[in-house]
């Protein structure tokens, strides 16, 4: 059984990225953080490795996507409530992020999101699973 997830994301500026995510109330694991990469602790067993682009490039032979120009991934994070969704998006905007989409209310699910300074899109949502339709 798989135990952890590490999402690796290319970034331009380590200090800027760390300041942005710290402003959201998130922490970095200092044992796995240096000038090339930073281990962002999202939740228990959920991490994002923020890797400066030249270091990130060393892991792939393909070109590295510019998330401000293309969508390479949508990172979805669940919250405890609609209010928590709005609070996290507000913190992201105050820290220099943007909101590429308007909030959406589907009744059983509420979602909004933000783009970090490198353009990575973070979808933040709350869902009442008991009220979700049987098939989507």
pLDDT of residue 54: 97
Nearest Cα to Cα of residue 68 among 55, 53, 58: 53
Superfamily of structural domain 5-131: 2,3-Dihydroxybiphenyl 1,2-Dioxygenase, domain 1 (3.10.180.10)
pLDDT of residue 135: 65
* Residue-level pLDDT, tens digit, the chain, 136 residues: 889 999 999 999 999 999 999 999 999 999 999 999 999 999 999 999 999 999 999 999 999 999 999 988 999 999 999 999 999 999 999 999 999 999 999 999 999 999 999 999 999 999 988 877 776 5
Total residues found in the chain within this entry: 136
DSSP code, position 98: B
pLDDT of residue 75: 96
């Amino acid at each position: 059984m798989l135990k952890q997830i590490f999402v690796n994301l290319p970034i331009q500026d380590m200090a800027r990225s760390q300041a942005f995510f710290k402003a959201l109330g998130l922490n970095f694991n200092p044992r796995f953080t240096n000038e090339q990469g930073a281990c962002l602790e999202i939740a228990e067993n959920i991490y994002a490795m923020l890797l400066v682009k030249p270091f990130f490039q060393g892991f792939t032979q393909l070109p590295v996507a510019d998330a401000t120009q293309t969508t390479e991934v949508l990172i979805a994070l669940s919250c405890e409530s609609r209010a928590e969704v709005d609070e996290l998006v507000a913190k992201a905007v105050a820290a220099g992020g943007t909101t590429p989409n308007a909030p959406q209310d589907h009744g059983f699910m509420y979602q909004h999101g933000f783009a970090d300074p490198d353009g990575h899109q973070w979808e933040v949502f709350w869902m009442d699973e008991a009220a979700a339709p049987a098939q989507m």
